[in-house]
A and B are shown apart, each in its own frame.
Chain A
C-alpha cells in the first residue's frame, strides 16, 4: 500500500537545519575565457541541483549569462524582500571573477558590475533572519570586513581583496555539495560549514601537492554555517505523521542528546568507561535506526 499521508521534505538532522523557508539565488558571472565560462556554468548547475534537494524549485533562482546583470540581481531582491520574513533563510551564491582596486570590490557581470556596496545594501535590506553569502570569486575576501552582521554568514574564496588570481575554491565547494566525504557527520546533509571545510582542505592540498605558492586562502565568518544545510545526499526521505514513527524519532533525539552529554563528560572519565558507555549508546541507536527503517518500510508498502 502506498503511503497516502502528506509528504514533507525531512531534514535527517534534527538540529542541523531549521524548517523555515529557504531561498537560493545563484549569480553566474562573466567567465572571460571559454574555460572559465565552462567551469562557472558547471558549478552553477551543480549548485542548482544541490539547492533543489533542500527547497522547492520555485525558491531556487538562477541568474545566468546575459540575464545575470546588476539590475536583475536588484530586481530579484526587490521581489524576494516582499515575500520573506525573519524566520526565513536565504543563500546567495556568486560564481565568477571578482576584482578589487584597493577601495572597491566588484563582481564581474554583464553591464555594470555588482559592487561590494551593492551586496551590502541588498542583504541589509533583506528581512531573512539567516543569510548565507557564498562568493567563490577572486578578491572576494575584500567583502569580509564590511559585511559582517549577526544574521549573516560569509564564505569567501580569498582572505582579502589582494588575492586576485582566479580561484579553485568554487570548483571544490560545488564538488562538496554532492560528495559523501564532505558529509562529516554522515547525516546525509552537507552543511555550509562542511562544504567550506571540504573545499578549504582541497584548496590547500592542491597547492601543497603541486608545490605551488597558494594564491587563495578561503575564509568563513559568521555563526550559522554548521546549521545551514546546502545539499541533501541520496534520495529525499518522505516523512509521515505516523505516531509510531514519531515516537521512534523522539527516542532517537533522546539518544543523540545522551551521546552529546557523554562527549561533554569524556574528560572526567577513563578511556574504558567512555568506550563502554559509547558502545552501549551506539548499539541502542543502531537498533533504533533499524526499527525506524523497518517502520518506514512498512509505511511504504
Chain B
C-alpha cells in the first residue's frame, strides 16, 4: 500500500511535463532485443532510423515498459510515465520496471522521488544492481558517502550484470577525476572499458571521461574525442563531460567553448545549453546566456537550474548597472557594478573605493595588471546570489568569483552582526587576481588562502580572526598536508572542514609570506600559472619538499597559536560561565572573567566577544573610560558589531577624539551601510573637521536611504554644499527642507546666509 501511494503521488508531478529529456545509455538496465536495436541506432547517431524504430515499438504489441522506453526516447514523457504506471500495475513484483521509472524521475531532476522508487525496487530485489547504480548516482551528485554503500557491491561482485558494473566503474572514474585522484580514475576507466568491450556496450561515455582525463592532464586535443565522433557524430557529451571538469577547475571560458561544441553537434542537449548559459553568465555574456538558458528550458522544462537562472535574469530589471568611470578614455579600466536599485546609492561609494583600493594593492603585490573590467554584483536576497553562483538556492557561501565577475551577498542579505560585506568584497577581489594571474590554474586552496590572508593583512577590517571551531580543529590536529588541502574544500569529510580549510589556507599563505617573503608567495602564483601542482610548486619556489613544508608550517602554527590552543578548554569554560554572570548583573565578576578571556585570546572579536561584555560591565559600574578602552581595543582587534562600534564612535566624539571616531564610523560602513542615523552623525563629524566633500557623501547616502526625517536630511546636504561653496545646490536643498518643514529655523537661517552670500553682503 505504501508503495502504491508513493508512486501515485509522483505521477501528478510528471504528468505536467512533456518535452524531451536525455535518455542516457542504460547498459542493460532494460533487457529487450527490439528496444536494444532502436537504442543502438541512437547510440551510433542514426537518429531518423532510431525515431522510426521507437515509433514502431509504440504502435506494436510491445510490453508497456518497452513502450514507456520508446515514448521516453521520443521525448513524450507523459506517455512514458503512463506506460510505466501500466507496467508497474501489470508486474507489481518487477524491480526492473521500477528502476527505469526511477531513472525517468532522475532524468527529470526529481531526485527525491527517484530515490524513493529505487528504494522500493530494492525492497522487491535487495541486490538489484541497477537500483543500486541509480541510487549511487543520485547520492554522488549530493556529495553523500552513502553512495559507496550502493557502489561497492557492484564493483566487488563479479557475478553482477556486466553493464551495471561497467556503469559503476564509469561513475567511480568520474568522481575520481573530480577529486583529482587520477590514478584511481585511470584504473576505473580501464575496468569499465574491459567490461564495455566484452559485452558490446557503447564506448561513448568512456571516451568522454577519457577526454576529460586528458584535459585535466593539459591535453586539450584528445584522441578520444575523434573516436567518439566516429562512433556517433551527434554525441554532445564528448564535449559536455570534459567541459564539466573545466567548470569545477574554474576555467569558465574554456568550458564555454566546449559546451558550445556540445550544442553544435547535439542541438537538443538541454543540460549543455543550460551549463553553457550559466557559464556565459559567469563571463558576463548576458544576452547569449539568456538565449541558451531559454533553449535549455524549452528542451527540459523540469530543470530547476534553468528556471531559477531565467527568473534571476528577469529580476535584473530591478538592478542598476553602473560603470565607473562612466566614460572611457581615462586610462583606467572601469569597474562595473550591478546593484539593486533600492540600495545602490548606499553601497556604491564604499564598494567603488574598496574595489579601486584592492586593485591598486593587489596589482602591486602580485605583479599582475587586470586586462578587463571587473564586474561586481551584489544581491540583497541571498538565494538570488546562490542561483547566480550555482543555479540553485541553498548554498552557504557569501561571495563567488568567476574571473572578472564577482557575485556576492549585498550588505542587506544578512543581519549586520553576521556579515562583513567590505571584507567579503576584498576577499573576492583577491580571487580576481589569483584566478586571472594564473589563467584560472591556481588550486582552490591557494586562491582561498591568498584571499583570507589579504583580508587579515590589507582588508578593510584587518587582523587574524580565526573562529573558535577552527581552533578546536587545530587542537585536534585536523589540518591537512598542504598537498592535499584542496580536498578539504572539494570533498569535506566533517562538518566544519570547509571553514577549517579556509583558515588553514590563510595561515599557510601567512606562513609563506612571513617566513619566506612576499616574493615567494607571488612566485607560487606564477608556478601555478605555469601548470605546476601544489607539491611541485612548493619544491620549485620554496626549495623544500611538501613534507618539510608541512613540518615548518606546523611549527609556525604552534608558535603563533600554541598558547591559545593550550588554554582552549579553559577559555571555553570561562566563556560559558560569563553568560550567567551577565544574566545576574554581576558586573565585577564579569570584568574579571572577561579580562582573563582577553588575556588568553585577545583577537576573539565575534558577536560573543568578551570585549563587549567587559565594556558593558565597566559602563554599568560607572567606569566610562575603561568601557571606552574595552570597545576601542575590540575595534582595533577587528571587532565589527555595528551597535558596539556606533557606541564607541559616539564616546570618542564626546571625548574630543574626532579622528578616531571617523575611523570607527568607516568601520561601521564596512558592516552596515544602511543606518541613516549613523551616516548623518558621521557626516556631521566630518563637517566639523572641515571634510565637507566626505560629509556630503555621507549625507547623500543618508538621503538615499529614504530617511524618516527628510527635512533634516535635506538640511544636512545644504550645510555640506554651503561648506563647499556650492550655494546654488545648497539653496536647492534648503528649499526641499523647508517645503517639508517651513518653520525649520536652522534651515531658515542658512537660507538667509546663503542668499546674503549670493548677494555679496
- Which residues of A are at the interface with B, using a C-beta cutoff of 8 A? 12, 180-187, 197-198, 201, 209-211, 256, 259, 263, 275, 278-279, 281-283, 285-287, 289-290
Contact = CB atoms under 8 A, between A and B. Distances in A.
Contact of B735 (A186, A198, A201, A282): A282
Given A181-B709, A209-B674, A282 B751 contact: yes
Given A185-B743, A186-B741, A283 B751 contact: yes
Given A198-B708, A209-B674, A278-B735, A286 B415 contact: no
Nearest to A286: B748
Contacts of B755: 283
Given A187-B743, A209-B674, A279-B735, A285 B709 contact: no
B741 A187 contact: yes
B742 interface: yes
B708 A289 contact: no
A184 B742 contact: no
A181 B735 contact: no
B711 interface: yes
A170 B712 CA distance: 24
Nearest to A200: B708
Given A209-B416, A287-B752, A184 B741 contact: yes
B712 A181 contact: yes
User: Counting chain B CB atoms within 10 Å of each CB, which of A186, A210, A290 scores highest?
Assistant: A186
Contact of A186 (B711, B751, B752): B711
What 9 A-B pairs have minimum CB-CB distances, sorted nearest first?
A286-B748, A186-B744, A186-B741, A181-B709, A185-B741, A282-B738, A201-B708, A211-B415, A286-B752
Contacts of A185: 711, 740-744
B745 interface: yes
B254 interface: no
Contacts of B708: 181-182, 184, 197-198, 201
A32 B589 CA distance: 27
Contact of B742 (A181, A279, A285): A285
Nearest to B743: A187
Interface in B396-415: 412, 414-415
Contact of B749 (A198, A201, A275, A286): A286
8 contacts: A181-B677, A182-B709, A186-B741, A186-B745, A256-B742, A282-B742, A285-B742, A285-B748
B519 interface: no
B318 interface: no
Contact of A278 (B414, B709, B711, B738): B738
A186 B745 CA distance: 8
Contacts of B710: 184
Nearest to A263: B739
Interface of B: 412, 414-416, 674, 677, 707-712, 731, 734-735, 738-745, 747-749, 751-752, 755
Contacts of A275: 735
A295 to B, nearest CB: 15
Contacts of B731: 279
Given A209-B674, A211-B415, A289-B745, A184 B709 contact: yes
A273 to B, nearest CB: 13
A283 to B, nearest CB: 6
B326 to A, nearest CB: 26
Contacts of B677: 181
User: Counting chain B CB atoms within 10 Å of each CB, which of A180, A209, A283, A286 scores highest?
Assistant: A286
User: Counting chain A CB atoms within 10 Å of each CB, which of B731, B734, B743 scores highest?
Assistant: B743
A95 B331 CA distance: 63
B276 to A, nearest CB: 35
A256 B744 CA distance: 12
A248 to B, nearest CB: 13
Nearest to A252: B743
Contacts of B742: 185, 256, 259, 281-282, 285
A286 B751 contact: yes
A227 B79 CA distance: 71
B584 to A, nearest CB: 10
B381 to A, nearest CB: 11
A289 B748 CA distance: 8
A150 B708 CA distance: 29
Contacts of A278: 735, 738-739
Contacts of B740: 184-185
Given A184-B709, A197-B708, A282 B743 contact: no
Given A184-B709, A282-B748, A283-B755, 12 more contacts: A180-B709, A181-B708, A182-B708, A184-B711, A184-B740, A184-B741, A185-B743, A259-B742, A263-B739, A282-B735, A289-B748, A290-B752
Nearest to A287: B752
Contacts of B745: 186, 289
A282 B718 CA distance: 15
A275 B674 CA distance: 31
Nearest to B677: A181
A180 B715 CA distance: 13
Contacts of A282: 734-735, 738, 742, 748, 751
B393 to A, nearest CB: 16
Nearest to A281: B742
A186 B752 CA distance: 18
B716 to A, nearest CB: 12
A135 B393 CA distance: 42
B418 to A, nearest CB: 9
Nearest to A282: B738
Contacts of B711: 184-186
Contacts of B415: 209-211
User: Counting chain A CB atoms within 10 Å of each CB, which of B412, B416, B674, B752 scores highest?
Assistant: B752
A186 B416 contact: no
Nearest to B711: A186
User: Counting chain A CB atoms within 10 Å of each CB, which of B415, B741, B744 scores highest?
Assistant: B744
B116 to A, nearest CB: 32
Contacts of A182: 708-709
A12 B752 CA distance: 21
A301 B734 CA distance: 32
B743 A289 contact: yes
A282 B712 CA distance: 16
Contacts of B412: 209
Contacts of A256: 742-743
A124 B251 CA distance: 76
B747 to A, nearest CB: 8
A183 B741 CA distance: 9
Nearest to B712: A181
Contacts of B752: 283, 286-287, 290
A44 B751 CA distance: 39
A181 B565 CA distance: 49
A12 B745 CA distance: 12
A184 B743 CA distance: 11
B575 to A, nearest CB: 22
A31 to B, nearest CB: 16
A289 B752 CA distance: 11
A194 to B, nearest CB: 10
Contacts of A263: 739
Nearest to B741: A186
A180 B744 CA distance: 11
